[in-house]
Structure 1
Amino acid sequence: MSTENPVARRAAILIRNTDGTPEEIAAALDAAGMLQQPPTRITGAYPLWVRPTGLGIAIDAHPLVSALIRGLAGEMAEEPEDVAAELVAIAESSGAEQDALVLELLTRLGGTDSRYATADARRLAERVLSIVGPVLPQQRRAS
């Protein structure tokens, strides 16, 4: 007895009901909401990419994370012993002490704030709401 994935089973049924052309297959899967939507880019100093997932949304912040890693790598190249000691201290601590050490390091590397212009912030909010929907019933009626 096969324990086939129900999503794969549904996709196979939809595909069987087409004439097999890539266009028809894509249209059938898209109509059923089974194709992943492309991410929406939110511009800013550190752009974000927002896309829906099966359970909510995914936000890709790799430009910010990349900047922090490059900053850490630069410090490591200049003062390897000091940076290594700091990372070991973070690894060996826990709780509030660890949080404080990580925050200190992140602040020194440039921080984790990513600021967006009003238009970009509005676009981010609108994109998130378009994916997850409004919270309040009256917002649902308005949209």
Structure 2
Amino acid sequence: MILDLPIHHFNEGYLKRNPTSVEATTMLIRNNKTTVYPPFNKMPTDATYYEIPHYIKFYSKLVNLHLDGLFIKELPVELQELPNLENISFSIGDASSVTQIIAVLKSCKHLKALLFMTAIIPDAQLKKIKESLPNVEVSIHP
């Protein structure tokens, strides 16, 4: 089952209204507004930072988690409770906690691929992510 949801739909009431949604193997949460990226790899003024809800842990069949057009500051520790999570994609920016994100991703035992849709962070931090996750294919969307 694939869930394709606008950012404002995946809220606390969603799981109560859609209890069978926990059967999803792929989840796409998308930002419907257009973000314009300024030149010189600077954070856009209208960047949307998204906090993945802690009840993500109930989606135990989830293999793929994709956040389209959304920057992440931190990842919830509940991601480690997803035994099938193999692929995750999101955007990372200057307000993102690279150390916290690495710690959570290292605890995801079956993670195979990490795709940054946008990565507006120093090269040293990107290198740190790649070195910290040696068994995960880390890539950046061109």
Q: Same fold (TM over 0.5)?
A: no
Structure 1 length as normaliser, TM-score?
A: 0.21
More helix by share: 1
